[in-house]
Amino acid sequence: MKDIMKKALLIAAAALLSIAATAQPKFAHVNFSELVQLMPEADQARATIQASSQEAQETYEAMVEEFQSKYQTYQQKVSTWTPAIRESKEKELTEIQQRIQTFEQSVQQELAQQQQALMAPIQKKAMDTVTDLAKKEGFVYVFDLSQVLYFDPAQSVDLTPMARKALGIKEGRTLETLQQEMATQQQQ
């Protein structure tokens, strides 16, 4: 009878340990920022933002050039102008300066809004992919490495490689290679 009780207790203990082991929540981590930056869609967004930024810079430079040209003319001819002409030219220069300042402020806001609008669907796609992978793999929590102060890699699975593959990020592409690509593009 004692042997039967011991076997029953051992079986019960093993069952409890098995249940406890399977009840343990599964944790994963991912480098979300890296995923978003390396996605092919992010390359297109960066190119669009860069083109808009370049166009804005060219417009700004043209406005500054117009101001400098008119200011140079003003300096050369101010002594020969009547007070009415001088006042008109000064007013024109002030208006150009105000247009430049207004343009600078509005273009910065517009570029920030454009970047946000272009990156939002990319971030959503990355988030949806990570969520789908986490559900498929049975993870209870997925932590973003940029937000975590400490984690034990032995207790957590890195979902980044699976997410990279699911998002179509080329193997071997890293943040370092991305920076090199961007530097090469700027030099051209």
Q: Label each residue of 69-82 as H, E or C.
A: HHHHHHHHHHHHCC
pLDDT of residue 7: 52
Distance CA 94, CA 101 (A): 11
Q: Is the pTM of this model over 0.85?
A: no
Residue 135 pLDDT greater than 50, yes or no: yes
Q: Identify the three-state secondary structure at position 45.
A: helix
pLDDT digits (tens, 9 = 90+) for 145-166: 888 888 888 888 999 999 999 9
Calculate mean pLDDT across residues 125-141.
95
CA terminus-to-terminus distance, the chain: 86
- Which residues make beta-bridge pairs with 144? 30
SS3 string, 125-155, reads: HHHHHHHHHHHHHCCCEEEEHHHCCCCCHHH
pLDDT digits (tens, 9 = 90+) for 46-89: 999 999 999 999 999 999 999 999 999 999 999 999 999 999 99
pLDDT averaged over every residue in the chain: 88
Provide the pLDDT confidence category of residue 175 given band limits of 50, 70 and 90. Answer: confident
Q: Which of 8-12, 33-37, 44-48, 100-104 has the lowest mean pLDDT?
A: 8-12
Kindly state the DSSP code that residue 157 receives in the 8-state scheme: E
Q: Identify the three-state secondary structure at position 57.
A: helix
Calculate mean pLDDT across residues 93-98.
97
pLDDT of residue 15: 44
Distance CA 130, CA 163 (A): 6
